[in-house]
Amino acid sequence: MRVAVVGHVEWVRFARGTRLPHAGEIVHAQDSWEQAAGGGAVAAVQLARLAGEAELFTALGDDEAGRNAAAELERRGVRVHASWRPEPQRRAFTFTDAGGERTITIMGPRLVPRGADELPWERLSGAGAVYFTGGDGAALHAARRARVLVATARARDALAGAGVVLDALVRSAGDAGERLEPGELDPAPALSVATEGARGGRWTGPGGICGRYEAATVPGPVCDTYGAGDSFAAGLAFALGEGRAAPEALELAARCGAHCVAAHGPYRGQLGLNA
């Protein structure tokens, strides 16, 4: 099954410490590193782990960080289709405390693909599943060529008023930035999922049928929650693309999220299909 992501990438500096500093305080990180991340990148690598390969339709800054991000994702099994922008690559700083909670500072505007970009959009026709994290309306319509289209609520600017039917919408129940008002998306997604972290989450399907799913068991101590949500969404897109019903698809998605938090950084713990 061919799978893809349409969305954004960030070049992220990660730092791991015992706790966040108080105002004016200096704390020492136990370790730090830089790598490509952000919602689109994390989801693309998770899909590559599940499907063997994934494609990413994105926009990157035409600078060292943007080039490094593309090269790293290619090494991780992602075929990168990038529109190169003159703006600097968007960066972020992420601090993870001893409990695995991540705190993120974003630097620079989000760079997302546009339907007018000279990207091989035709490759999305017939794809089994696409996860959409960002882009304009034309990019969203191109993504709709896939058999299954899943999107994050953070892409609301493209989703609202586009008239595109989503097979699933994923949002964090506790994140005000991902809250949607009733009727904000018309037509409504076939499946709407609100994640609640370690408490699992809830879903609403066709005809207003509602249910809950349980969080999966984390295979070890919780190390780092960065990337768990997008790993979850990628797993959901993959499972729905395979034709699994919502409860079974959410079970795989929950396992993807749980495995992600069991290692430092977004990729080390990600679930492979045979795991």
CATH number at residue 112: 3.40.1190.20
Mean pLDDT of all residues in the chain?
95
Residue 275: band (very low, low, confident or very high) from pLDDT cuts 50, 70, 90:
low
3-state secondary structure of 217: coil
Does an H or E element contain 81, and which?
Answer: strand 78-85
What are the structure tokens assigned to 204, written together? 């609403």
Task: Calculate mean pLDDT across residues 90-113.
Answer: 96
Q: Per the domain annotation, does 275 fall within a domain?
A: no
Residue 274: band (very low, low, confident or very high) from pLDDT cuts 50, 70, 90:
confident
Q: Per the domain annotation, does 266 fall within a domain?
A: no
From 15-29, 58-72, 167-181, the region with the lowest mean pLDDT = 167-181
How far apart CA 104 and CA 237 sit, in angstroms, is 25
Q: Per the domain annotation, does 71 fall within a domain?
A: yes
Per-residue pLDDT tens over the stretch 5-45: 999 999 999 999 999 999 999 999 999 999 999 999 999 99
Q: Per the domain annotation, does 24 fall within a domain?
A: no
**Total Cβ atoms within 10 A of residue 202:** 16
Residue 59: band (very low, low, confident or very high) from pLDDT cuts 50, 70, 90:
very high
Q: Where are the beta strands (DSSP E) in 146-255?
A: 149-152, 168-172, 192-195, 201-204, 210-213
Report percent pLDDT > 90 for the chain. Answer: 91
Contacts 24+ apart (CB under 8 A), 269-273: 269/219, 269/223, 270/45, 270/46, 270/49, 270/227, 270/231, 271/46, 271/49, 271/50, 271/231, 271/235, 272/49, 272/50, 273/49, 273/50, 273/51
Q: Per the domain annotation, does 26 fall within a domain?
A: no
What are the structure tokens assigned to 157, written together? 């600017």
What is the dihedral sign for C-alpha 153, 102, 95, 74?
negative
Residue 263: band (very low, low, confident or very high) from pLDDT cuts 50, 70, 90:
very high
Q: Per the domain annotation, does 87 fall within a domain?
A: yes
Residue 183: band (very low, low, confident or very high) from pLDDT cuts 50, 70, 90:
confident
Query: How many domains, in total, are found in the chain?
Result: 1
Question: Above 80 in pLDDT, residue 181?
Answer: no
Question: Above 80 in pLDDT, residue 182?
Answer: no
How far apart CA 183 and CA 94 sit, in angstroms, is 34
Q: Per the domain annotation, does 268 fall within a domain?
A: no
Give residue 194's domain range. 3-19+32-260
Question: Above 60 in pLDDT, residue 132?
Answer: yes
Q: Per the domain annotation, does 13 fall within a domain?
A: yes
